[in-house]
A and B are shown apart, each in its own frame.
Chain A
Amino acid sequence: MPGMSGRFSTVVKAKINKLLDKAEDPAETLDYSYQKQLENLQNVKKGIADIVTAKKRLQMQSSKIEQSVVKLDTQARQALASGNEDLARVALERKNVAQTELQGLDQQIVELESQQQKLIDSEQQLRSKVEAFRTKKEVIKAQYNAAEAQVRISEAATGVGEQMADVGLAMQRAVDKTENMKARADAVSELEAAGTFDDLTALGSGDDDIDKQLKELSTASVVDDELAKMKAELGAGSSQPQGQIEGGEGQ
């Protein structure tokens, strides 16, 4: 087929040939193939372990930020209840940024899980083929002369080679995805280090560098909407003077 699959088949088959051509001495090929297949299986296992590690890191970050969201929301309410609208706004800006990061992280965790499952399935297929190859290799060696056995075993090795190439592709895609996720996890770590999701009680009036950056990062309209909603819930209407901590006390 000349189209999509034609191009794709060509690329995969080139990779298979590369995998199989390494052994130039025919006498070595039989055992070399099997050796190579076992190594390949080990690599896949390692690849799966790497994905699990990356996923755990994202999950830890996700649960930390989830806690920050709850905390910042509570603090915004408290600030508003005591009439400090500026502080409430800072808390909501932070919450907004945290929620955006959280969504991104959660989506990536789901993606990683799907990559992990695919690799586990591919590993199972490869394991079955390697085992079948081992059996077939012994049968062929016993039944045919060396030259003919060579040909027959090479044919069988191509089938395993195709599966190895395919698992290699799945791993490559998983690694690419994991790399992208590392970039995001690092970005979240930087935000954390900058104190973005920190406790607001440790904060001054709220006009430092972090807050300037936050104003750029967070969506003003979302924060405004949420602030208005929170005000309505608290029954703290516009009659309340801004920034007066005494104003809302006694609730």
Chain B
Amino acid sequence: MIVRISGEGQYRLDDDHHGKLDELDNAVVGAVDGGDEDGFHASFEELLQFVRGNGQRLADDDLEASDHILPPADLTFPEAGEEFSGDGLIPEPS
């Protein structure tokens, strides 16, 4: 599967990493829902490091689409909250 870290690039990961990725992703959501800012930064960083560490960076001229897209690494805690409640990071297309 291909995972993009927004603002950074795309990584190809073995499909058997899917479970771990899910687990890390849910930890981020848990921290955001629980209002745990430190927990959010720690778990989000862990998620990104997992992708960077286990993935193979795609070449810039690769035209494959991603299966999953992660928010940018400098996502703030309030932005993460909006990601679930409001319009999200990206304004609705006009």
Residues of A in contact with B (beta carbons under 8 Å apart): 1-9, 11-15, 18, 114, 118, 122, 124-125, 128-129, 131-133, 136, 155-156, 158-160, 162, 165-166, 168-170, 172-173
**Inter-chain contacts of B61 with A (CB < 8 A):** 128-129, 131-132
Evaluate contact between A4 and B65: CB separation under 8 angstroms: no
CB neighbors of A among B36-77 (8 A): 44, 47, 59-72, 74
A161 → chain B closest CB, angstroms: 8
Identify the closest chain A residue to B61 (Cβ).
Answer: A132
B27 to chain A minimum Cβ distance, whole angstroms, is 8
Q: Is there contact, CB below 8 Å, between A4 and B93?
A: no
Q: Decide: A15 near B60, CB < 8 A? Known: A8-B70, A8-B71.
A: no
Question: Within 8 Å CB of A124, what residues of B?
Answer: 60
Provide the bound-state CA to CA distance between A170 and B7, in Å.
6
Is B68's CB under 8 angstroms from A169's CB? no
14 residue pairs of the A-B complex, CB under 8 angstroms, read: A1-B22, A3-B22, A4-B47, A5-B69, A8-B6, A8-B69, A9-B69, A11-B89, A15-B93, A129-B63, A162-B65, A169-B6, A170-B7, A172-B90
* Other 19 A-B pairs with CB < 8 A, given A15-B93, A159-B65: A4-B25, A4-B70, A4-B83, A5-B21, A9-B67, A9-B69, A12-B6, A18-B93, A125-B9, A125-B60, A129-B62, A129-B63, A132-B63, A136-B63, A155-B65, A162-B65, A162-B66, A162-B69, A172-B90
Taken together as a complex, chains A and B put the C-alpha atoms of A15 and B74 apart, in Å, by 21
Cα(A170)–Cα(B75), bound, Å: 11
- Measured between beta carbons, the chain A residues less than 8 angstroms from B66 are 9, 162
Q: Which chain A residues lie closer than 8 Å to B62 at the CB level?
A: 129, 132, 159
Instruction: Identify A11's interface contact among B22, B32, B88, CB under 8 A.
Output: B88
When C-beta atoms are compared, the residue in chain A nearest to B1 turns out to be A1
B-to-A contact residues, CB < 8 Å: 3-4, 6-7, 9, 18, 21-22, 25-26, 28-29, 32, 44, 47, 59-72, 74, 80, 83-84, 88-91, 93
CA distance A7 to B68 in the complex (A): 10
Given known contacts A9-B68, A132-B63, A169 and B7 CB-to-CB distance under 8 angstroms: yes
Once the chains bind, are A7 and B65 in contact (CB under 8 Å)? no
Whether A3 pairs with B25 at a CB distance below 8 angstroms is: yes
Give the residues in chain B near A173, CB-CB below 8 Å.
Answer: 72, 89
Q: With both chains docked as a complex, state the minimum distance between the C-beta of B70 and any C-beta of chain A, in angstroms.
A: 5
Which single residue of chain A is at the shortest CB-CB distance from B18? A1
Residue of A nearest to B80 (CB): A4
Chain B residue at smallest Cβ distance from A128? B60
